[in-house]
Copies of this chain bind each other. A is one copy, B any other.
Amino acid sequence: MQRYVGIDIGGTNIKFGIFLNDGRLEKKWSISTDFSDEGKKMWDDIYNEIKKNVSIDDLCGIGMGLPGPVLADGFVEVCVNLDLHNFNPVQIMQAYFPGVRIRAANDANVAALGEQWKGSGEGYTSLGLVTLGTGVGGAVIVDGDIVYGASGLSGEIGHIQLNSEETRTCTCGGKGCVDQIASATGIVRYTKEVLARSQQDSALRDKEQITCKDILDAGKEGDIIADQCVRHCMKYLAKALAAVTYIIDPEVLIVGGGVSNAGDYLIKIIKEYYDSFITLSQKKTPILRASLGNDSGIYGAAKLVI
């Protein structure tokens, strides 16, 4: 029976999924990422995992999501998190699996494809996705297809510079990027700053180490400082989503990544600001939470070859 492997390569873990061609997920598992020896170890690990789990006669395709810009031919200039440079994952895997259909794409693009195929985006032909995690990632789909862009910059919604109050420089070299304020890192940093300059009571003051989840939980439970900080940070995300609408006007906007686990509380705040920024139309785009969670990457990677 035909099998397709979807692989989500991250800086910490590599996730695997084995799919049937109707999109049923037969098995999933993950291993930790070992990118030593200029990646050699990692490719060997991926090869071994596939070989152990799928009969080579059944294997019809391998799709991969990678944390960096992937050009149309598969070439990757850099994956910062993997410390890998100038390589072509498609060619590398092809050497291990001659004759098998292999494709690779950026991890955010792949996640969007997964959500569109089997997640919150099912039934929509255009969508904008943002992922809120350590950073802010994103991807857009127009007319059913991922927009890959001319230089791998499409969907880099996190680096739109919207916050003119920002004083620090973003890792990208910019200033005021959405990434700096709406990522988990950004939410924690901003909240700590507010706590430091305010006298107001907050449950967060009892924590030794404040995590983004602490802030979101406290906000949900009515902690005023936490709630205000979440609102402030999500205002910028909503502005970025409004920019997506004023550029491609997708049928739906989807919010994923670890921060989105805060659920309705977070989505409602984003939606409220978003609606206020869409002044040109009474019809407001729905904003949904990504529904595949950590599996969106393996789904989308498999979809690349199904």
Q: Which residues of A contact B (CB under 8 A)?
A: 69, 126, 128, 140, 142-143, 145, 147-157, 159-162, 164-165, 170, 172-174, 239, 242-251, 277-281, 283, 285
Contacts and interface: CB of A to CB of B under 8 A. Distances in A.
B162 A246 contact: no
**What are the 8 tightest A-B residue pairs by CB atom distance, in nearest-first order?**
A149-B249, A154-B249, A173-B279, A174-B279, A153-B249, A172-B279, A150-B251, A156-B246
A174 to B, nearest CB: 4
Given A142-B142, A174-B277, 5 more contacts: A143-B145, A150-B249, A151-B283, A156-B280, A164-B164
Given A248-B140, A248-B248, A151 B281 contact: yes
Q: Which of A151, A170, A278 has the most CB of B within 10 A?
A: A151
A32 to B, nearest CB: 28
A152 to B, nearest CB: 7
Contacts of A239: 161
Contacts of A156: 246, 249, 280
Given A143-B143, A173-B279, A277-B174, A285 B150 contact: yes
B159 A162 contact: no
B249 A247 contact: no
27 contacts: A140-B247, A140-B248, A142-B142, A142-B248, A143-B145, A149-B248, A150-B250, A150-B251, A151-B281, A151-B283, A152-B249, A152-B281, A153-B278, A156-B246, A156-B249, A159-B246, A160-B242, A160-B243, A160-B246, A161-B242, A161-B277, A164-B164, A170-B279, A174-B279, A243-B247, A244-B247, A248-B248
